[in-house]
Structure 1
Amino acid sequence: MKREDLIPAEEICVRYKVERKFVRSLFDSGIIEVITIEKTEYIPQDSLTNFEKMIRLSRDLKINLEGLEAIHHLLGQIEKLQKDNRRLRNRLGLYE
């Protein structure tokens, strides 16, 4: 992963007005990825969308960490099922 694709966790905390503890708890739960380089923590750009979703759910709906973990898991299952559905539709198209 290129260093340009990494955003310092401190910058994200300031920009989104969240505590460092929130970022750490999302990382510990496996919801986002955090990469440490030379004692500085970074969040990859491709984890940013997921991070923003979790912030909105936490702030707007007052969902706690356990709820965020459950939602993350369910969203992952939905995404997997959608991929499987597309794959099966494509295979079915071969027989039509």
Structure 2
Amino acid sequence: MPTTQLIAANDFCIYHNIDLSFIQSLNQSGLITVIVVEEKLFIEENELPQLEKMVRLYHEMDINIEGIETITYLLQRMNDMQHQIAELNRRLGLYEG
């Protein structure tokens, strides 16, 4: 059974020069999940790529939490539709070939 690596949220914030409240806001909005161990916040390693994208949106493009929520939702919808189109193309190929 693979174990999940936990990253201290405080260390992540220091590295990316952001405030811990940003991580807490993302958690409250449901964009990421934090784990609390002994009153310290931790982030699962598999959430880092998505979290780093959100940090770039926040820092480089000056997009607020609500905007990040919207962008994340729309990207997820687009990804779901791409998978649906690929599945429909696969099924259509069964009838054409």
The verdict on a shared fold, with TM-score over 0.5 as the criterion, is yes
For 1:10-21, list aligned pairs within 5 A: 10-21=10-21
Partners of 1:35 and 1:82 in 2: how far apart? 32
Post-superposition offset of 1:50: 1.1
Structure 1: gaps (5+ residues): none
* Cα distance in 2 for residues equivalent to 1:89 and 1:36: 44
1:35 aligns with 2:7: no
The runs of at least 4 consecutive aligned structure 1 residues that moved more than 6 Å come to: none
Unaligned runs of 5+ in 2: none
Alignment of 1:77-96 (within 5 A): 77-96=77-96
Question: Is the CA contact (8 Å cut-off) linking 1:9 and 1:42 kept in structure 2?
Answer: yes
Number of positions where the alignment pairs a residue of Structure 1 with one of Structure 2? 95
Alignment-derived partner of residue 58 in structure 1: 58
Partner in structure 1 of residue 46 of structure 2: 46
- Secondary structure of the 2:55 match is helix
Q: CA RMSD in A?
A: 1.5
Letter in 2 for 1:76: Q
Question: Cα offset for 1:24?
Answer: 0.4
| TM, length-normalised to structure 1 | 0.88
Amino acid of the structure 2 residue aligned with 1:40: K
Report the 3-state secondary structure (helix = DSSP H, G, I; strand = E; otherwise coil) of the residue aligned with 2:7.
strand
2-structure distance, mates of 1:94, 1:38: 55
CA distance in 2, matches of 1:82, 1:6: 31
